[in-house]
Amino acid sequence: MGDMIVGLDVGTTKTCAVIGHENENGQVEVVGVGVSPSKGLKNGVIVNIDNTASAITKAVEDAELMAGHEVAGVLVGISGQHVKGENSRGVVAISNRSRTISPVEVKRVIEAAQAVVIPVDREILHVLSKEFSVDDQTGIKDPIGMSGVRLEAEVHIITGATTSIQNMIKSVDKAGFQCQDIIFNPLASADAVLSRDESELGVALVDIGGGTTDIIVYLEGGVAYSSVLSVGGIHVTNDISIGLRTPIESAEMIKKKYGCAVLDLVDASEMVEVPSVGGRAPRRLFRQELTQIIEPRMTEIMDMVDQELVRSGKKDMLAAGIVLTGGGSMVEGAIESAERVFNMPVRVGVPTDIVGLKDVVSTPQYANGVGLLKYGIRLNKFRVRSRYDRGTAGFVERIKKWLNDYL
């Protein structure tokens, strides 16, 4: 049995822990799941360490109980508008006598590509290789062993605010666990829900969480663009709470049970029951009235994503269309709402290629937790699991992480 890995998705509305391992058949087996409400985050960023730590403790303990297995370390996902992605290029001369590219040259060219000026208050989370060029030959995925004079690398660098990263590590520490690594959320979600064909053809993964919507674009198997928007499912819930004058908890329940993002899909005669504030009797209203609150906000979220994709310059290259995931994609009509805005095929992504508690986690809201688990299993394969430490998160660790991302 492989080592137990924990994927920890610390979100704005919920914290979710997924425990699993790689079984003897080489499959990813999920053995424990824990979910607890989050109270310490706003738009994906920690605003209260104590509240975040207690949510982490509860989620991981519930997952441990289900798995019958205690864990020490966790892989944590991070999001928030402070996370930024940018493309960069690096070039090196191949100086060894045989003019053959070895891992040393690859390390050098990646180092050259990531020598962009990063502000003091930010740090690198991932250096993701898109493609290499050897002399004039472009589009090479793995240049090791090739001959040439000049090696060029195109990479996508994801950075985050140091304070936000430190607060995440502090929250995990305070919860009593070790933070083994920090991964950009949609990178993990992509691991869980995208097929290799989609990432080769060109696809945008749109992860609609509680407080953020994460976007990541894959072209020819590599990350070409990433972005985080500070809108998510919680904004839909707030609109319902205000529009129907009902508490947030009730609004969330109504959204999940009766919510729809497209008016045309709702029968004009359908009624729903809405709990009232202050002990008054619940009221009944037409489901279309609820949809009229949800539809504009969902359309607005999709519009903002669409603007990001247009800005990226990659929208016309998405042959495989859009994949929606995250809790916000579970509202009825989300696909129809997205297709109207994006004008291209849309599907909802659920975690695939898993065994064990498959029925429990095969929903979009677990995409991130399962993705982090898969990511961790892959990390283990290369035996480069390392403590994400300020002091040692140097070049070697980043290269190990890069190799894991792209081998």
* Averaged confidence pLDDT in the chain: 89
Last residue of a domain, one of 303, 323, 350: 350
In three state form, how does the secondary structure of the chain look? CCCCEEEEEECCCEEEEEEEEECCCCCEEEEEEEEEECCCEECCEECCHHHHHHHHHHHHHHHHHHHCCCCCEEEEEECCCCCEEEEEEEEEECCCCCCECCHHHHHHHHHHHCCCCCCCCEEEEEEEEEEEEECCEEEECCCCCCECCEEEEEEEEEEEEHHHHHHHHHHHHHCCCEEEEEEEHHHHHHHHHCCHHHHHHCEEEEEECCCCEEEEEEECCEEEEEEEECCCHHHHHHHHHHHCCCCHHHHHHHHHHHCECCHHHCCCCCEEEECCCCCCCCEEEEHHHHHHHHHHHHHHHHHHHHHHHHHHCCHHHCCCCEEEECHHHHCECHHHHHHHHHCCCEEECCCCCEEECHHHHCCHHHHHHHHHHHHHHHHHHCCCCCCCCCCCCCHHHHHHHHHHHHC
Residue 275's pLDDT band (boundaries 50, 70, 90)?
confident
Q: What is the pLDDT of residue 183?
A: 95
Q: What is the pLDDT of residue 392?
A: 37
Check whether residue 201 and residue 147 sit in a common domain.
no
Residue 37 lies in a domain: no
Residue 368 lies in a domain: no
Query: Is the predicted pLDDT of residue 393 greater than 80, yes or no?
Result: no
Check whether residue 318 and residue 204 sit in a common domain.
yes
Token readout for 229 is: 């928007």
Residue 365 lies in a domain: no
Last residue of a domain, one of 328, 350, 372: 350
Query: Is the predicted pLDDT of residue 4 greater than 70, yes or no?
Result: yes
Q: What is the pLDDT of residue 91?
A: 94
pLDDT, tens digit, 9 for 90 and up, residues 92-139: 999 888 889 988 899 899 989 988 878 899 999 999 988 899 998 988
Query: Is the predicted pLDDT of residue 380 greater than 90, yes or no?
Result: no
Q: What is the pLDDT of residue 348?
A: 96
Check whether residue 157 and residue 200 sit in a common domain.
no
Dist. CA 145–CA 404, nearest whole Å: 19
Check whether residue 225 and residue 321 sit in a common domain.
yes
The percentage of the chain sitting over the pLDDT mark of 90, rounded to a whole number, equals 71
Check whether residue 115 and residue 260 sit in a common domain.
no
List all residues 6 or more positions away from 348 whose beta carbon is below 8 Å from its beta carbon.
Answer: 323, 324, 325, 329, 330, 334, 335, 364
Query: Is the predicted pLDDT of residue 182 greater than 90, yes or no?
Result: yes
Residue 239 lies in a domain: yes
Query: Is the predicted pLDDT of residue 387 greater than 50, yes or no?
Result: no
Average pLDDT over residues 392-398: 48
Overall number of domains in the chain: 2
Query: Is the predicted pLDDT of residue 2 greater than 70, yes or no?
Result: no
Query: Is the predicted pLDDT of residue 391 greater than 80, yes or no?
Result: no
pTM: 0.89
* CATH number, residue 274: 3.30.420.40
Check whether residue 119 and residue 214 sit in a common domain.
no
pLDDT, tens digit, 9 for 90 and up, residues 208-241: 999 999 999 999 989 999 999 999 999 999 999 9
Residue 386 lies in a domain: no
Amino acid at the residue 259: G
Query: Is the predicted pLDDT of residue 385 greater than 50, yes or no?
Result: no
Query: Is the predicted pLDDT of residue 402 greater than 70, yes or no?
Result: no
Residue 259 lies in a domain: yes
Q: What is the pLDDT of residue 139?
A: 87
Check whether residue 118 and residue 242 sit in a common domain.
no
Query: Is the predicted pLDDT of residue 406 greater than 90, yes or no?
Result: no
Between these two residues, 53 and 283, which has the higher pLDDT value?
Answer: 53
Check whether residue 283 and residue 211 sit in a common domain.
yes
* CATH number, residue 113: 3.30.1490.110
Average pLDDT over residues 311-325: 96
Last residue of a domain, one of 140, 161, 182: 161
Average pLDDT over residues 177-194: 94
Check whether residue 124 and residue 219 sit in a common domain.
no
Check whether residue 201 and residue 333 sit in a common domain.
yes
Residue 56 lies in a domain: no
Residue 79 lies in a domain: no
Check whether residue 222 and residue 328 sit in a common domain.
yes
Check whether residue 115 and residue 220 sit in a common domain.
no
Query: Is the predicted pLDDT of residue 39 greater than 80, yes or no?
Result: yes
Parent domain of 281: 196-350
Closest CA to 186 of 130, 111, 125, 234: 125
